[in-house]
A and B are shown apart, each in its own frame.
Chain A
């Protein structure tokens, strides 16, 4: 086995002995689908057959949220809409375990003697984080299907759904998570402090994106004024307006958030309104972002974060 393989097996051994692994899995695999199924059951028992159930609209909603497909979709979408998102929490927690703990427990001097190939150590740790994310996503999918199947025994739900598309979204979200993992590893490693690193992982993207909002508020409105004339003159305005398309979070969660349009469409139909069923949703998804655009942006982030991380790790003096 190669040095990389040794690191992967050792770090998996470690991850499986850490309680947080099972807590995270329990939340994602157990709590989320059960709560969602319970919500579906409440909808069905309280609203099914009532005046709002004209045309079977309650059954449609119950199918959307509590069927095996619906639960599996929510297991992908839901974690992307927490704040901070469950995805980034997972990335930060396992970065803290896999790379932050080596410093907090003074383990680098042991790890890098047992395995002096530093690039193999770093690559192995990133690979284990990705394996954990894959296992969590797969487990969430399977648990949702299982809970949904149980729900079929007492709810009017079926197996219907675009399973192929959903599986692809799971797979793409998993690959996008490499950006979150490298970002988390970088923050935890650079700050040399697990708590500070995790805080930065959670809030740095939001802070930077918040600064942009401040800009938009201050200088981004019409007509030309003393503040935004500067940007107009430098012809930076268009560039700055395009920036949200490259924001980390807008692109990172694109696969997980994209099924929201389907959910909103269902609610739009129930509403019966003539307007766009999407409403404000494009804003939530990051306007103008497509899957191929998001993939390219993620590759860019992975390359930048990964390069800095590898460079700093190779240079690191274990003191």
Chain B
């Protein structure tokens, strides 16, 4: 890879199915070693974008580049993927599935398979047929397969899909370890909390269009700058909601006695005083932590494009 070259580039990448644009002129660049989260609800176009970058489907317009070469090209041999549900030959063992992929790619020493089985903690199950594997085991084996030929780029589509919290934590730890090796990772998810702790940059896609491209903290900051979300509790939940309506705010009920409300930043410090003046006995009023999930949902709902 030449100095200054991007690991992944999408230039007006578009995929149409008939009149519907699954991906609509998406452009971004990812530098080598970056770990980027690709966020969007189901059907937003994440998988289609990843498939185009992996050379599995042809773009209707624009182009994708991996390690400087337009896809499809020989540089795809430097890419590892986990696209959607992990799939294997069910009549083969986990080890044989890895051996098949290694033979297909070529240049993978046999000890690499043992190394990766140990990395994903699958040594004991390696000789079992894959059809007997749990979802978590399949996900871990798929990650091992994606890493077989020491790829420089990893394209991961919902790698924690269907996993329990322990499985999610294991995959996240594995990915952290891979990232420390300097691999460029583009990882998609619709469960934002899963990748919040892993990535340092976010690409957000909605209805095929890129709606945000920037660092994680910028996404939070850009949204927090406009509004503040408060978590309120009062002795009388109904009175609390009435009072909020009287102030021109639309409270979202939270339990029997609480509400969530978005307040313009410049009026935030007046909120509790106004409620007290309206006769509401406020038990709790705290600013809601603006986590990534909220920020993203608000971004999409408001159709705001702060990029």
Contact = CB atoms under 8 A, between A and B. Distances in A.
Interface of A: 1, 3, 5-7, 9-10, 13-14, 17-19, 101, 105-118, 315, 317-319
Contacts of B76: 113, 116
Given A6-B104, A10-B103, A110 B145 contact: yes
Interface stretch (B34-42, B88-96, B222-230, B292-300): B88-96
B87 A110 contact: yes
B113 to A, nearest CB: 13
B105 A6 contact: yes
B101 A114 contact: yes
B54 A113 contact: yes
B79 A113 contact: yes
B106 A318 contact: no
Contact of A109 (B72, B83, B106): B83
B287 to A, nearest CB: 44
Contact of B89 (A3, A105, A108): A105
Given A17-B92, A105-B89, A112 B55 contact: yes
Interface of B: 51, 54-58, 72-74, 76-77, 79-81, 83-85, 87-92, 96, 99-101, 103-106, 145, 148-149
The 6 A-B pairs at the shortest CB distance, nearest first, are namely A10-B103, A116-B76, A318-B56, A10-B104, A6-B106, A106-B87
Nearest to A105: B87
7 contacts: A13-B100, A101-B89, A107-B88, A110-B87, A115-B106, A116-B76, A319-B51
Nearest to A109: B83
Nearest to A14: B100
A83 to B, nearest CB: 29
A113 B99 contact: no
A280 to B, nearest CB: 45
A19 B84 CA distance: 29
B89 A107 contact: yes
A10 B87 contact: no
Given A13-B103, A318-B57, A18 B91 contact: yes
> Which of A3, A14, A116 has the most C-beta atoms of chain B within 10 angstroms of its own C-beta?
A116
A1 B103 CA distance: 11
A243 B49 CA distance: 49
A105 B90 contact: yes
> Which of A7, A19, A106 has the most C-beta atoms of chain B within 10 angstroms of its own C-beta?
A106
Given A18-B91, A114-B105, A117-B74, 9 more contacts: A3-B106, A10-B100, A10-B101, A10-B104, A101-B89, A108-B56, A109-B84, A111-B104, A317-B58
Given A105-B89, A317-B57, A116 B104 contact: no
B77 A116 contact: yes
Contacts of A9: 103
Contacts of B81: 109-110, 113
Nearest to B75: A116
Contact of B106 (A1, A111, A113): A1
B90 A115 contact: no
A118 B148 CA distance: 20
B104 A114 contact: yes
B91 A17 contact: yes
A1 B89 CA distance: 24
Contacts of A115: 104-106
Given A1-B106, A319-B57, A13 B77 contact: no
A183 to B, nearest CB: 25
